[in-house]
Amino acid sequence: MESGKGKVGEYFVCLNNSFFFINALRGKDNTFIFADISQYRPVFINSNSMALEITDNNFASILAGDTPVVIDFWATWCGPCRMIAPLVEELAEQYKEKVTICKCDVDSNDALAAKYGIRNIPTLLFIKNGEIQDKQVGATDKATLEEKIKALI
C-alpha cells in the first residue's frame, strides 16, 4: 500500500543480528519508519536444528530413551535464550551420539515447564535415568555447558 511518505507493508529485516518480519512504513529513501515496534515477529532461519523439539506430548518417550537428556527451556521473546541458542545447537551436533539435547518452548508447552518448576529462562536441565542431575539457569558460556554435559555422560 502506498502512502504519501512511502510504502506500508510487512518487511523482512535484520536488527541486532536477529531477523524479523515487521509492519512498517518504508520511506522513499528506503529508511524504515516503524508503525508499531511491538509487532516484531522473530524469524528462525535454521530449520536444520540438531536439537530435538520436546513438547508436552513427546517428552515421556524422549526421557524413556537410554541416553542422558539435556532440555533447554526457552521462548522466542527471550534475549538470553537467543544468545545461547547457537551454543546449544553446537553442543547438540558435537554430542549427538552421547546425549539427546532438546529445546522446549515454554509458551507452547506450559505443562512441561510446570512439571519441572521452570520460573526463569533460559533454564537447562541435565537429566540421567529420569532424574535431574544438574541445572543451569540463565545464559552462560559454551565451556560451562560442555562441562555439565561431560559430567552427565
User: Which residues are part of the catalytic machinery?
Assistant: 78, 81
State how far Cα 73 lies from the chain centre. 8
72 and 120, same domain (yes or no): yes
24 and 60, same domain (yes or no): no
> Collapsing DSSP states into helix, strand and coil, what is residue 8?
strand
23 and 78, same domain (yes or no): no
Burial of 103 (0-12, 13-18, 19+ CB in 10 A): buried
86 and 35, same domain (yes or no): no
pLDDT classification of 23: cutoffs 50, 70, 90: low
Give the residue numbers spanning the domain of 16: 2-43
39 and 85, same domain (yes or no): no
pLDDT classification of 63: cutoffs 50, 70, 90: confident
37 and 60, same domain (yes or no): no
Q: Is the pTM of this model over 0.75?
A: no
Count of structural domains, the chain: 2
Task: Give yes or no for residue 153 having a pLDDT over 60.
Answer: yes
99 and 75, same domain (yes or no): yes
114 and 94, same domain (yes or no): yes
**Which residue is associated with the grid cell 554435559?**
149
Residues shown for the chain: 153
Res 136: pLDDT:
96
Q: What is the domain-level CATH number for residue 110?
A: 3.40.30.10
37 and 65, same domain (yes or no): no
124 and 101, same domain (yes or no): yes
Beta-carbon contacts of 28 under 8 Å, excluding residues fewer than 6 positions away, are 5, 6
39 and 56, same domain (yes or no): no
70 and 143, same domain (yes or no): yes
pLDDT classification of 59: cutoffs 50, 70, 90: confident
Tell me the residue ranges of DSSP E strands in the chain: 2-3, 6-15, 18-27, 32-34, 41-43, 52-53, 69-74, 100-105, 123-128, 131-137
